[in-house]
Amino acid sequence: MFQEITSKTTAYEQLATEEQQKMTWLEKTLGFKPGITNLASEANKDLYPVDEWLTEKVITIPKTKYIFQAIFGLGITALFYFMQRDKLLPFRTTSYALFLYATLVLLVVNVVRTLIFALTTEQKIVLSSYAIQLDQRTYPWNEIIDVCLTKKAGNKQPYHLTLLMKNGPTVRYSLAHFQSPFDNTLSRICTYVLHFQEKANRV
């Protein structure tokens, strides 16, 4: 049973305590601090202008990134295979050949896993002035005190989109799969989340 939290200050103090408890003794010894960041510091409405009349926004993972990764991995696998077949590699020992073939098998497995993930995943963030939906779970704004970003102490990435709930456990949603080399995904997500959070608070 969770005690209802009504103060944003209390919610953040509780979050800081939770994040500190997750730290290892080495991280504490090295003086790392929990990575808690507000959305406004990452949001960029100039780069991602939001229409005030927008009623819903769906943010999905960049599947093209994973398809490109799979194609690249397949290309590397084929390159090594044909170089080994045509004896273009400088090593001829049996142990090296076994190592190479084992590596090729692992590459193929990784390519298949990446393609399956890209084609079947349903990871998405759905935003509206009523609620925020993370994959299949919906959290009404009136049950959320605030939304912020958290990350593992001492690490730059990946971030978690973190919901501070009034009456329930803290919700952490990994944004690792949303990152893309073609877009500042973190800034885009923060901009839209902040927009709909502010819109919900005005209702």
- Which sequence spans correspond to the domains of the chain? 8-61+122-202, 63-120
Average pLDDT over residues 133-162: 88
pLDDT at 176 over 90: no
Confidence tier at 53 by pLDDT (50, 70, 90): confident
Residue 58: how many CA atoms within 13 Å on its side-chain side? 6
Check residue 157 and give its pLDDT. 64
If you average pLDDT over every residue of the chain, what do you get?
82
Average pLDDT over residues 116-132: 85
Rounded CA-CA distance 71/65 in Å is 10
Confidence tier at 30 by pLDDT (50, 70, 90): confident
Q: Phi/psi at 106 (nearest 5 deg)?
A: -65, -40
pLDDT at 104 over 80: no
pLDDT at 1 over 80: no
> Which residues are within 8 A (CB) of 112 and not within 5 positions of it... i.e. 6 or more apart?
none
Find how far residue 119's CA is from the centre of its chain. Answer: 18
Average pLDDT over residues 28-47: 86
* 186 vs 100 pLDDT, higher one: 186
Check residue 95 and give its pLDDT. 66
Q: Which of 12-16, 106-110, 154-158 has the highest mean pLDDT?
A: 12-16
Among 69-78, 89-98, 101-110, 178-187, name the one with the lowest average pLDDT. Answer: 89-98
Q: Amino acid letter at 148?
A: C
Average pLDDT over residues 181-200: 87
pTM of the complete model: 0.76
